[in-house]
Chain A
């Protein structure tokens, strides 16, 4: 039981890292980026290729995946996304899903369609068992690493958004772009870096997730639904919303599959439907927010 809970938390944390970038671009910049999963996939492939062809150690690959996907995000923001900010939602959706299709095809063509497999270092493959009376908590080391990385990221992000000058500038730029501009805030740079960081986080999620979720060219579409559920349930006004939503989703998914394998992945959708019926705006909505 405890083991299942642990696995659920790890899974939820992973979803959180994958989805948080989307939550940031959607919530703060009001841009619907359905190609978000493509950045996650890019992070995964960076890791796989570096490990396989250059023998780069896994832990080093994760920050590299962040840097590479963030750079990709920055370039794409500058040349493509920026032009789309003022467009209606439908245009944004069509544009970004098109990007996702392109990414899938590029990877399929250049690397191949088979599932990519990474070889973890030995020390990450083991597991540790703790016994509490009748209950056994078995923790896979890799899942422990995922949880640790995610908690660290959450704190760093929360700190940046609420305590730093950059964070307040970002919130100002989002609330009223023209006034922020008039006050001497370089809105373009703020958006560019936010988008880049969001993409980079997706890259980290992809790098960490390829071991657990599997990695093939259809990754952006396979997990797009999950990202969107996280954002829909968690709302986009804070970090704690998506975090809680990811955890609920992860735990519901894992326990559902454990106790009722016949229902398989349906549990997640059932949970989403119930929560949205109860709170159509998502779990956390600031009163008076847009």
Chain B
């Protein structure tokens, strides 16, 4: 194996020498710019992968596949949401396919598994999904195009304080992103004089919420703060209605994940009136967003873009703009440095990369679920402008 590799290298050196001195430069200019997209297209998190991939396709459809004279090629890899796969795929993409950027990454464990590879190989890593705040610390080559749990949660905590909610119970899943959301909510809610009556962590694998919700009802807080993935989120919303928590005067507020635009329509009436915060809603009222939705639907007519969709779209934009800024020559840290200075108008509103955290400083919107025509939508009614990854106003 080693011998063969040596032979091949020797041969190619000879070949290069034979074709003359100018050949390498010509090759460099024509070499396509490769983006390795690692997302879960199958398994429990397939909806994340579908959103990201559709949005990436939507972006290339709109902006073409040539930037600063270089052809951009996206290589899709499905990791099934399993970190060991992602690590292997990232290695293959970098070593065999020689990709210039790796992107995607649906979950925090996946991000943490791949980050060291990005650092070692000096490959820029565009994180399009996993929202644990500390993720970007894992590699100086990582830039995130979604948002952080802390950033999103700070919005609803602030709203709760401003709207006369004095006591709250938190309900989050028993894993790291859940804790982060709980922490963030507590931090902003307690600082403003609010009181947390109980902190409930629910197991991920057994989603009968009956006992937990009964407990909340008996504790009688002003509001119940919830952060859950959208599937169990919808189940919780339904039981919240059935158990009569609303009649008992307990408001349901939450992280935008529970009213995920991708399957809000299936949750139906149960979600009506729920107030959440997030950085993007399909219903966001702007020309750019309407254009984005049309593009997205032309790629995938069966769904509508959610907070992951817009992050996939903006992630590609980061790559394109950075490549343009470096005249198509950017690679490694130069590309990351170019990304750090970017700011642009996204379908979600204005965003700016914070060079410190390599996360977006962006608007966090307050939304309420309403029925608009035939569809259920998160309708934005307030905004907290320019929030950084730690949930602070900048």
Contact = CB atoms under 8 A, between A and B. Distances in A.
Interface of A: 3-4, 7, 11, 108-109, 112-117, 119-120, 125-127, 138, 140, 142-143, 211-214, 216-218, 222, 253-258, 261-262, 264-265
A214 B43 contact: no
B210 A7 contact: yes
A143 B208 CA distance: 12
Contacts of A265: 203, 205-206
A261 B266 CA distance: 29
B64 interface: no
Contacts of A256: 211
Interface string B167-205: 000000010000000000000000000000010111101
A117 B242 contact: no
Instruction: Pick from B207, B208, B269 the residue with the most CB of A within 10 Å.
Output: B208
15 contacts: A113-B42, A113-B44, A113-B47, A114-B46, A114-B263, A116-B266, A143-B210, A211-B238, A212-B210, A213-B206, A214-B231, A254-B211, A261-B202, A261-B211, A264-B206
Contacts of B231: 114-115, 117, 214, 216
B210 A216 contact: no
B174 A7 contact: no
B320 to A, nearest CB: 30
Given A115-B234, A261-B212, A222 B242 contact: no
B98 interface: no
A-B pairs with lowest CB-CB distance, top 6: A115-B231, A257-B211, A258-B211, A264-B203, A265-B203, A254-B211
Contacts of A255: 211
Contact of B212 (A11, A116, A120, A257): A257
A135 B12 CA distance: 85
Interface residues of B, number: 36
Contact of A213 (B208, B212, B230): B208
B52 to A, nearest CB: 15
Given A140-B210, A222-B206, 6 more contacts: A4-B214, A113-B42, A114-B230, A217-B44, A261-B198, A261-B200
A144 to B, nearest CB: 12
A223 to B, nearest CB: 9
Contact of A115 (B200, B210, B235, B269): B235
B73 to A, nearest CB: 28
A117 B235 contact: yes
Contacts of B46: 108, 112-114
Interface of B: 42-47, 174, 198, 200-203, 205-208, 210-212, 214-215, 230-232, 234-235, 238, 241-244, 263, 266-269
B201 A264 contact: yes
Nearest to A116: B266
Contacts of A213: 206-208
A218 B205 CA distance: 10
Nearest to A112: B46
A59 B345 CA distance: 50
Nearest to A140: B242
A254 B210 contact: yes
Contact of B211 (A7, A143, A211, A214): A7
Contacts of A119: 268-269
B208 A11 contact: yes
A143 B212 CA distance: 16
Instruction: Pick from A109, A213, A218, A265 the residue with the most CB of B within 10 Å.
Output: A265
A11 B200 contact: no
B47 A264 contact: no
A127 B245 CA distance: 11
A212 B308 CA distance: 28
A3 B174 CA distance: 25
Given A265-B203, A265-B206, A108 B43 contact: yes
Given A126-B242, A127-B244, A261-B212, A214 B232 contact: yes
B305 to A, nearest CB: 16
A26 B109 CA distance: 39
A117 B267 contact: yes
Contacts of B43: 108, 113
A115 B208 contact: no
A140 B210 CA distance: 10
B214 A7 contact: yes
B199 to A, nearest CB: 9
A254 B207 CA distance: 12
Nearest to A115: B231
Nearest to A108: B42
Instruction: Pick from B43, B212, B230, B238 the residue with the most CB of A within 10 Å.
Output: B238
Contacts of B238: 117, 120, 211
Contact of A216 (B44, B201, B215, B242): B44
Contacts of A261: 198, 200-202, 211-212, 215
Contacts of A140: 210, 242-243
